[in-house]
Amino acid sequence: MEKYDIIIENGASICYNRKGDSISALKTGGRIRVLIKPNSIKGLIVALQNTSDDRIVLGNMTNTLISDQGINRELIITSAVKGVHVDEDSLICSTGESLSNACIVARKFGLSGMESLAGIPGSIGGAVAMNAGAFGGYMSDIIESAEVYIDGNIVHMNREELGMTYRHSSLLDNGGVLISAVLRLVHKNPILIASSMKDARTKRHLSQPLEVSLGSVFKRANDNGAGYYIEKCGLKGSRVGEAEVSTKHANFIINTGKCTSNDYYKLMCHIQKTVEKECGVLLQREVRLIGEFEE
């Protein structure tokens, strides 16, 4: 049997030459040679076992810019690998479960610890890999352990082994793929949890643009949000093609219509250069790039 038949047989769909802009969060990107979408943990593991080592694994693509030239490698998308279970004070989440749904379940069962994360788009896998966080709370505060596919084996990793630091984890360096994660929370009145989650969402809506974006473009620098420097340089509203520096939050680049990945990339480079020249600060990208880009 061909390897793609084995993958399909074990619970996945495969598309060839699918346009990236039809699936990416920013609605940009060229054709993806082989797009594999498993629908269960078993399907994901079989897909990992039957693809080459240079495969790419993504969740909801809310932090990833796909090149307009597309991806000439196998891409596995985990967003259909759903599941979240409550075990006393823990949530056991499959990698493709949305962080927002995990927050809803935590709230419903009176489990506290995820309040500040409410409203971050993306999957559990992406949130662990990126150590997603907001308003002083991080995934690393609540993760207890994870099952990770690495070098052909499934291994159990504890919090230390996941090496989670600011917007980074060991998974981004060692090619490990998160299969599932255990989040350790504490019991609390669901009404108080709901109220804190509502506050986090409100703060988010008041400070961030609602247009299509990839969230924060750059990481914090010298204890300041990158937006502080970008705004100081007068870059709010700057455009390349249909990519625009949000006038609401300077660290967001929004797609105003038919933006391409290269528009986004060029604007990002322009911001980086301007801030370095005018403020002497070299901003580091938070957004992850896949494929080739031209300045």
Ligand X SMILES: Cc1cc2nc3c(=O)[nH]c(=O)nc-3n(C[C@H](O)[C@H](O)[C@H](O)COP(=O)(O)OP(=O)(O)OC[C@H]3O[C@@H](n4cnc5c(N)ncnc54)[C@H](O)[C@@H]3O)c2cc1C
Active site residues: 167, 216, 286
Rounded Cα gap, residues 18 and 111, in angstroms = 40
Least Cβ distance, residue 240 to ligand X (angstroms): 19
Q: Which residue in 161, 288, 289, 293 binds ligand X (CB under 6 A)? A: 288
Q: Does 25 bind ligand X (CB under 6 A)?
A: yes
Q: Which residues contact 136 (CB under 8 A, 6 or more apart)?
A: 116
Task: Closer to ligand X by CB, 189 or 247: give it.
Answer: 247
Phi first, then psi, for residue 38 (nearest 5°) are -70, 155
- Position 133 contacts ligand X (CB under 6 A): yes
Minimum CB separation from ligand X for residue 1, in Å?
26
| Smallest separation, CB 61 to ligand X (Å) | 5
Residue 35 or 110 with smaller CB distance to ligand X = 35
- Comparison of 27 and 276: residue with beta carbon closer to ligand X: 27
Q: Which residues contact 198 (CB under 8 A, 6 or more apart)?
A: none
When binding is defined by CB under 6 A, the residue of 60, 196, 262, 272 that contacts ligand X is 60
Asked if 95 contacts 131 with a C-beta cutoff of 8 angstroms, the reply is no
Nearest-approach distance from CB 155 to ligand X, in angstroms: 13
List the interface residues with ligand X, window 144-203 (CB under 6 A): 171-172, 177-178
Please give the structure tokens belonging to residue 138: 């991080």
3-state secondary structure of 196: helix
Stretch that binds ligand X, among 46-54, 106-114, 131-139, 221-229 (CB under 6 A): 131-139
* Residues in CB range of 109: below 8 A, 6 or more apart: 86, 190
Q: What are the DSSP calls for 233-264, one per residue?
A: TT-TT-EETTEEE-SS-TTEEEE-SS--HHHH
Structural contact between residues 267 and 243, judged by C-beta atoms closer than 8 angstroms: yes
Q: 218: which strand partners?
A: 285
Sheet holding 239-240: strands in order across? 213-216, 252-255, 243-245, 239-240
* Stretch near ligand X under the rule CB under 6 A, chosen from 15-23, 46-54, 116-124, 192-200: 116-124
Establish if 24 lies at the interface with ligand X (CB under 6 A). Answer: no
Judged by CB under 6 A, which of 58, 66, 275, 283 binds ligand X?
Answer: 58
Q: Which helix (H) or strand (E) holds 37?
A: strand 31-38
10 versus 213: smaller Cβ distance to ligand X: 213
Residues contributing to the site for ligand X (CB under 6 A): 25, 57-64, 78, 95, 120-123, 125-127, 129-130, 132-134, 171-172, 177-178, 213-215, 288
